[in-house]
């Protein structure tokens, strides 16, 4: 295995297997990973950690699996912000707003008030697109991961 494979094994697979060894069910683990994936793709920077913590608390989900998935998806979250904005504009029939990630970050850090004035509607469009697309992706991710976690659970001794 290469360096990336070793890193993924140590930082992703091993902690999830440890959760199974401690008694977390495969179903609960798959649900937590899928929820962490869904919330990790929220199109608002700086909100995903709190959203995962809140979801974990309210739905009694595994916090390690939630946050691990959330952090792994941070680069994907950045890549999907503009596509979510565009899809939301298309869904609502709105005119496209000139937006790029560098401008969003710069305006937000320099003048937050101007940021909300300039990009608030784009944020609503992105949120709408996220709400339309991500639940189906989370459902699919859970369905795909469940057999893997069940297989891992049979290979790992439980307390």
Average the pLDDT over 2-16 and give the result. Answer: 80
What does the block give as tokens for 143?
Answer: 């369905």
Domain, as residue range, for 28 = 3-155
The more confidently predicted of residues 11 and 33 is 33
Q: What is the pTM of this model?
A: 0.86
* pLDDT 10s digits, 24-55: 899 999 999 999 999 999 999 889 999 999 99
**What's the number of domains the chain is made of?**
1
Q: Is the Cβ–Cβ distance between 90 and 63 less than 8 Å?
A: no
pLDDT score of 61: 95
Q: Is pLDDT above 80 for 156?
A: no
Q: How far apart are CA 104 and CA 51, in angstroms?
A: 21
- Helix axis angle for 26-40 and 74-92, nearest 10°, is 60
* 45: alpha, beta or left? (left if phi > 0; alpha if psi -120 to 50): beta
pLDDT above 60 for 159:
no
Q: 94, 58 in Cβ contact below 8 A?
A: no
Model confidence pLDDT, tens digit, residues 93-127: 999 988 777 887 888 889 888 888 888 899 999 99
């Amino acid at each position: 295995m290469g360096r990336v494979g070793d890193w993924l094994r140590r930082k992703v697979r091993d902690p999830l297997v440890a959760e199974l060894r401690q008694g977390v069910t495969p179903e609960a683990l798959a649900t937590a990973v899928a929820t962490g994936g869904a919330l990790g793709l929220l199109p608002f920077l700086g909100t995903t950690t709190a959203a995962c913590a809140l979801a974990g608390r309210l739905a009694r989900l595994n916090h390690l699996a939630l946050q691990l998935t959330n952090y792994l998806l941070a680069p994907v979250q950045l890549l999907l912000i503009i596509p979510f904005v565009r899809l939301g504009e298309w869904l609502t029939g709105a005119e496209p707003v000139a937006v790029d990630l560098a401008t969003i970050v710069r305006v937000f850090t320099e003048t937050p008030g101007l940021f909300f004035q300039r990009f608030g509607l784009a944020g609503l469009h992105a949120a709408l697109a996220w709400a339309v697309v991500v639940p189906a992706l989370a459902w699919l991710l859970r369905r795909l991961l469940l057999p893997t976690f069940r297989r891992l659970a049979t290979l790992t001794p439980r307390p």
